[in-house]
């Protein structure tokens, strides 16, 4: 997007804070984004630059807002195929493959979901003035399944609010070692960063970490394994993996929290984000999206069924 200049006239019966007025007349931008524009000297009232979001506007005031060109982030667009489950002008729901990191970071500068999204989606408006998709939530590298990408600030903010208020339902399928103590259940165990291993999380005593809850139910049983459906009520890092290990049923292939040598030959952990229920911006009711188990996981189940 090239630089744009947008002008408004304050109505005869309108007054109040500048940022609140701009939210009303520019609903495509979040209040925080508009406040940033004000701080960056990009808003004028009656031809005078205003730098305070709380500036009071009055009837008849002439307001001018400069929308700068979206800044390139230095992230490289890469032509990596994506399986798109749903897409509109505001967001995309992608079925992420196992092995793909979500966002570039140390050790993973390329080949990520963000790199692929930059090439795939031509209508990205940018996040916070930068040309990039908004990561609403994350999946571990080896976890496959549904993940949501926002194309603009307003959608990112709206979806993050749903996640914060626990209005989103995420359902995972996992193959675990052994058999849970009950066919269905709820695990409540606080999670914090492992003090001995920077990249790991750990179950800790209540009050020493963040509260975490996971519901599970059995889908299918085998002689030494159980296929379960897991519903994380909270959204802590590595939550399902930790909680299943906590009840002595670690996820098959999870070499961090489970067996170093998996009981089944597998190149990843058996965890898949299978179902997502979310209310799309502009919709009045939630919608459910699904992604079937990848072939390599289905083949493992088929081999277990034949034993």
Which of 15-19, 69-73, 278-282, 288-292 has the lowest average pLDDT? 69-73
Pairing of strands 144-150, 271-278: parallel
Domain 83-164 identical in fold to domain 169-305: yes
Structure confidence at residue 136 (pLDDT):
87
Q: How many residues does the chain have?
A: 307
pLDDT, mean over the chain: 90
Residue 9 region, left (φ>0) first, then alpha (ψ -120 to 50), else beta? Answer: beta
Query: How many angstroms separate the CA atoms of 58 and 11, rounded?
Result: 8
Range 4-67 has CATH code 3.10.290.10 = yes
Residues 250, 258: contact at Cβ < 8 Å? Answer: yes
pLDDT tier, 300 (very low <50, low <70, confident <90, very high otherwise) = very high
Residue among 147, 215, 173, 180 at smallest CA distance from 301: 173
Read off the pTM. 0.79
pLDDT-above-70 percentage for the chain = 95
Instruction: Tell me the C-alpha to C-alpha distance, in Å, between residue 208 and each of 132, 186, 211.
Output: 35, 20, 9
Q: Which CATH number fits domain 169-305: 2.60.120.260, 3.30.2350.10, 2.60.120.280, 1.10.3470.10?
A: 3.30.2350.10
Q: Which of 6, 17, 8 is nearest to 58 (CA)?
A: 17
Q: What is the pLDDT of residue 88?
A: 94
CA Rg, the chain, in Å?
A: 23
Give the span between the Cα atoms of 228 and 214, in whole angstroms.
12
Query: What angle do the packed helices 31-39 and 153-164 form, to 10 degrees?
Result: 130
- Contacts of the segment 298-304: beta carbons below 8 A, 24+ positions apart: 300/175, 300/252, 300/264, 300/266, 300/270, 301/175, 301/220, 301/227, 304/222, 304/225, 304/264
Q: Is 26 left (phi over 0), alpha (psi -120 to 50) or beta?
A: beta
Predicted confidence (pLDDT) per residue in 173-223, tens digit:
999 999 999 999 999 999 999 988 878 999 999 888 999 999 999 999 999
**H/E element, 33:** helix 31-39
Per domain, the residue ranges of the chain are 4-67, 83-164, 169-305
What is the spatial distance between Cα 257 and Cα 262, in angstroms, rounded to a whole number?
Answer: 11
CA 163 to chain CA mean position, Å: 9
Position 195 scores a pLDDT of 84
* Mean pLDDT calculated for residue range 100-110: 80
Active site members: 140
**Domain 83-164, CATH number (from 3.30.2350.10, 3.40.50.280, 3.30.930.10, 3.40.50.300):** 3.30.2350.10
* pLDDT of residue 160 exceeding 90: no
Beta strand 4-9 with 62-67 is antiparallel
| pLDDT for residue 131 | 64
pLDDT digits (tens, 9 = 90+) for 282-295: 898 999 999 999 99
> How far is 195 from 216, CA to CA, in rounded Å?
28
């Amino acid at each position: 997007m090239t630089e744009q200049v947008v002008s408004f006239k304050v109505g005869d019966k309108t007054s109040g804070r500048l940022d609140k007025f701009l939210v009303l007349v520019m609903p495509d931008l979040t209040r925080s984004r508009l406040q940033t524009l004000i701080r960056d000297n990009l808003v004028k009232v009656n031809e005078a630059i205003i730098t305070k979001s709380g500036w009071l506007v009055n009837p008849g005031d002439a307001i001018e807002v400069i929308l700068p060109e979206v800044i390139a982030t230095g992230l490289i667009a890469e032509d990596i195929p994506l399986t798109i489950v749903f897409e509109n002008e505001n967001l995309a729901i992608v079925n992420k493959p196992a092995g793909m990191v979500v966002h570039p970071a140390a050790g993973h500068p390329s080949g990520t979901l963000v790199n692929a999204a930059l090439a795939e989606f031509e209508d990205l408006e940018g996040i916070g003035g930068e040309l990039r998709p908004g990561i609403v939530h994350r999946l571990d590298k080896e976890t496959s399944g549904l993940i949501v990408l926002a194309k603009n600030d307003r959608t990112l903010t709206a979806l993050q609010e749903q996640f914060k208020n626990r209005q989103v339902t995420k359902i995972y399928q996992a193959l675990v070692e052994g058999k849970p103590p009950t066919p269905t259940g709820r695990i409540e165990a606080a999670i914090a960063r492992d003090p001995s291993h920077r990249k790991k999380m750990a179950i800790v005593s209540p009050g020493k970490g963040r509260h975490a809850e996971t519901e599970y139910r059995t889908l299918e049983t085998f002689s030494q394994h159980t296929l379960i459906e897991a519903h994380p009520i909270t959204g802590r890092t590595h939550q399902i993996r930790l909680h299943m290990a906590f009840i002595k049923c670690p996820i098959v292939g999870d070499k961090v929290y489970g067996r170093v040598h998996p009981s089944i030959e597998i190149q990843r952990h058996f965890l898949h984000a299978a179902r997502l229920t979310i209310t799309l911006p502009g919709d009045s009711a939630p919608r459910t999206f699904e992604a079937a188990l990848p072939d390599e996981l289905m083949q493992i189940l088929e081999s277990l069924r034949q034993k």
